[in-house]
Structure 1
C-alpha cells in the first residue's frame, strides 16, 4: 500500500500562520463563506483543544449497530467513541457526525476541525465525545454552516415536519442547544443556516427565521426546494428553475437567483463539494453532472458517458470532479470538459448507491461497505487507489473529519 504523502509544506505554512495570523499590509484575503456571521474571535479555539500544524484528518465510521470510531489518517490510530442507537443515515460538516436514528439525530463530536480564517486555516484536536440525541421523527435533512465553533446547523425531520436550528458554539462546548424548533406541518423541507438564523422552507417559499424562530422579512420564492449547501460565497438552496444564493450583508439577508441555462431538463437535487470552496457539483439525472459556481453565478452542464450516483467538486486549480457511476466505477473528470482523467475498474457493489464520497485538498475517500474498507483515492493521479483502509468499525456509514 502507498501511504498518504507527507504534509511538510502544509505544516510549514500552518506554523507560519500561527505565528503571523494577520494578513500582510495591502493583502486582500478572500473572506469565509458569508452565509454565516463573519467573525469568531477565538479563531475556532475552544477550552481544552490543542492547536496543531496540519489538518487532523480522520475517518469517522459507524457500523449498523451504532458502534462509532475514528481512524486517524496520518498516524493510523484507532479511537473508539462508544455507540449510538442503530443508524439510518450520517451527515457531517467536517467535525460533527449527525447520526439519524429512530430516536432522532445523535450528535458525535469527532474532536477534529479546521477553522477558515480567509487567507489561511487553523487546525484543532480535542477529546471526541458522543454529545447526545436531539429528538425527532423520520428521516433528517441536515444543513451545516461554514464554521463548527460559530454559526448554526439546521435539521428538518420529515416524519414530524419539525424545523430545528442548533447553536454551533454550544455544540463545540459539548451541549445540544436548540435555538428554535418550528412545527411546519410539511413532510419534506430544509433548514438552511444563514446569518444569525436560517431559511426554512414553506411550500414554494423560503422564509427567514431569526435565532428566536421569528419570521423576518418577505418570503423568497423557490418552487420545489431541494438541496442546500454552504459555499465560500454564501448559502445555496436548489429550486426547480435554478438556485437561490443567500448571503449575510451588513446584518441583513440578501438573496439572488441563479437560473438554469435555457433548455435545462434534469435539475440538481443535492449538492456536494470540498468544504469552503465556491463551486459545487450535483448529479444531473442520467445525463452527467451540474457545476454551480457561486462566485461567477453560473451553471455548467457536463455530460458523462455513464450516469452517476455520486459527484463531488474538488474545485482545485485543475478542476477535478470525483464521481461514482452506475457501474460502481470511481471516476475523475475535469470540470470544463468532463473528460475522464482516471477511472478505476468497477469496484463498488450496487453501483455505489450504498457508498459515501468525501474529498479534501489531496484525496477522496469512498466507502465500500461490501468489502468492509474505505478506499483512499489520489484524484490528481488518475483515480489511483492509494490505500484501502480497514476502519475500526464496519464502514456502514463513513465521513472524513478534520476538514
Structure 2
C-alpha cells in the first residue's frame, strides 16, 4: 500500500493545441477485460480491506486514472483515458435526459428512472494524501422513479449514501454507496412523500415543506431540522453538505451521534438572483453558482460566507477551481470559456468561442474543472476540449468524437 502524494500527474500536453481523433469502440457489450487490465499507473497493490477506499478485486495505482466518461444522445457510454488517450466502450443506457456524477459513478436520468454506470476508476481522499484505484467498469442497474430527478452525492464512492429525489412521483431515495462499490443497487430507504435528499455521513437530509430534516440511514427522523424555503441545489465539499435555500444556504456536517446544521445567509441587502445549482473542483471548500446570467455567487463553506462577483459577459455556466490563485471558470453565452479572478470577478483570460453552435442549438455543453485543467464538451461540434486555464486559457488538446457527447463527467478523481 502506498501513500500517494496529493498531486495530479502531468498529462500529454504539447505547447500548441492538437486534435486527437477518438476511434469508435465496439458497440454493444462491455469491454470489461481490456479496460480493467489497462491501468495507466503502476499497480501498487491488489489487496483490499484496510479502509483506504478500495474494494476486493480493485488495483491501487501510483497515480489517478483520470478520464472523461460520456453518454451520447442514444445512450452509448464511452470512456476516454486522459493519460494514454485510449477509448473504451462501456455499453449503453436508455436515451439520457440528464446526468450527475461523484467522480466515479454516472447517474444517468432516463425516462424510466436513473441508470447507474460505474466507470471503475476513483480516488480515495485520506485528507493529507490520496489513494487511486481501478476496478472493473460496469452498468449496475436502474433505480425506478418518475423524473425530473435531482441526485446528491458525497466525495466518497465507497461509503455513505447517494440521494435521489424524483420530482414527478415525489419519491425520495437514499442509495447505499458502499453497495454500489460492490456492484449492487441497494435502497436504504424510499419515501413516497419526500423531497431533495442530501447524504451527510451515515445520515441524510430530506427537504420538504419549507424544512430540511435529518434522517438516519434507514429513513427514521432524528428530530433535527432547520428551515429552508424553496430548497434548490446541493453539493458536498470538504467541509460538509450544502443545500441551497431562498435566503442563502444550509451547511450540514457530521457530528457526534447526528448532524450539525448551520445557516449561511446571503449578504444583507443583496438583490441578486439566488443560487440554484452549485459546481466546483470536487471536494474543495468553495463552490460557485450563477446569479442569473450577469453575476456569480461564490460560497466559501470554510469561511461560511458568500461573495457576489460581476460577470464580464452573459454566462451559461460557472465552476470554482478554488486553487491558490483563486480561479473561477465560466462559460459565456457566446461559447467562450472565461477565466475569472475570485477576488474581483475580473477576466484573466478567455478562449475562442469553442461551443457557440452547441449553445445556439440548446445542446448544453458541460464545463468541468480539476486541479490542472478544464474540460468542455461540445455536443454539436462533436468535440471535447482540454484547456489549461492557468496558462492564458490555452487550448491543450481537442478530442474529436464520432457522436455527440450529450453528457460528460471527469472520472477517476
TM-score by length of 2: 0.86
- Deviation of 1:63 after TM superposition, in Å, equals 1.1
Q: Distance in 2 between matches of 1:363 and 1:123?
A: 19
Q: Any unmatched runs of 5+ in structure 1?
A: 7-13, 20-39
2:155 counterpart residue number: 146
1:123 counterpart residue number: 132
1:176 counterpart residue number: 185
Contact 2:211 2:227 in 1 (8 A): yes
Q: Aligned pair in 2 of structure 1 residues 261, 269: CA closer, same or farther (>3 Å)? A: same
Contact 1:332 1:383 in 2 (8 A): yes
1:394 counterpart residue number: 404
Q: Distance in 1 between matches of 2:147 and 2:124?
A: 32
Q: Distance in 2 between matches of 1:235 and 1:136?
A: 24
Secondary structure at 1:232 match in 2? coil
- Deviation of 1:47 after TM superposition, in Å, equals 0.8
Q: Distance in 1 between matches of 2:403 and 2:137?
A: 16
Contact 1:66 1:85 in 2 (8 A): yes
The reply to whether residue 240 of structure 1 matches residue 249 of structure 2 is no
Contact 1:61 1:391 in 2 (8 A): no
Q: Distance in 2 between matches of 1:192 and 1:136?
A: 17
Contact 1:81 1:128 in 2 (8 A): yes
Contact 2:363 2:406 in 1 (8 A): no
Cα deviation code 1:125-182 (max 9, x no counterpart): 1110000111111111100012000111100111101000011110000000000000
Q: Distance in 2 between matches of 1:99 and 1:162?
A: 17
Q: Distance in 1 between matches of 2:164 and 2:11?
A: 37
Q: Aligned pair in 2 of structure 1 residues 171, 392: CA closer, same or farther (>3 Å)? A: farther
Q: Distance in 2 between matches of 1:115 and 1:59?
A: 18
Q: Any unmatched runs of 5+ in structure 2?
A: 1-9, 15-40
Cα deviation code 1:174-194 (max 9, x no counterpart): 000000000126xxx411001
Contact 2:267 2:306 in 1 (8 A): yes
- Deviation of 1:336 after TM superposition, in Å, equals 0.5
Counterpart pick for 1:4 among 5, 12, 16? 12
Q: Distance in 1 between matches of 2:323 and 2:403?
A: 32
- Deviation of 1:384 after TM superposition, in Å, equals 1.2
C-alpha root-mean-square deviation of aligned residues, in Å?
1.9
Contact 2:363 2:379 in 1 (8 A): no
Contact 1:115 1:123 in 2 (8 A): yes
Q: Distance in 2 between matches of 1:166 and 1:54?
A: 29
Q: What pairs with 1:273-352 in structure 2 (closer than 5 Å)? A: 273-348=280-355, 349=357, 350=359
Secondary structure at 1:271 match in 2? coil
Cα deviation code 1:207-226 (max 9, x no counterpart): 11111111111431011111
Secondary structure at 1:217 match in 2? strand
Contact 1:309 1:353 in 2 (8 A): no
Counterpart pick for 1:203 among 209, 229, 239? 209
- Deviation of 1:197 after TM superposition, in Å, equals 2.0
1:158 counterpart residue number: 167
Q: Distance in 2 between matches of 1:394 and 1:307?
A: 25
Contact 2:13 2:397 in 1 (8 A): no
Counterpart pick for 1:357 among 360, 363, 367? 367
Cα deviation code 1:237-268 (max 9, x no counterpart): 11111111110112221011111111222111
2:106 counterpart residue number: 97
TM-score by length of 1: 0.88
- Deviation of 1:383 after TM superposition, in Å, equals 1.2
Q: Distance in 1 between matches of 2:269 and 2:66?
A: 42
Contact 1:61 1:392 in 2 (8 A): no
Contact 1:332 1:343 in 2 (8 A): yes
Secondary structure at 2:223 match in 1? coil
Contact 1:140 1:155 in 2 (8 A): yes
Secondary structure at 1:219 match in 2? strand
Q: What pairs with 1:19-30 in structure 2 (closer than 5 Å)? A: none
Moved segments of 4+, more than 6 Å? none
- Deviation of 1:374 after TM superposition, in Å, equals 0.7
1:80 counterpart residue number: 89
The reply to whether residue 114 of structure 1 matches residue 123 of structure 2 is yes
Secondary structure at 1:264 match in 2? coil
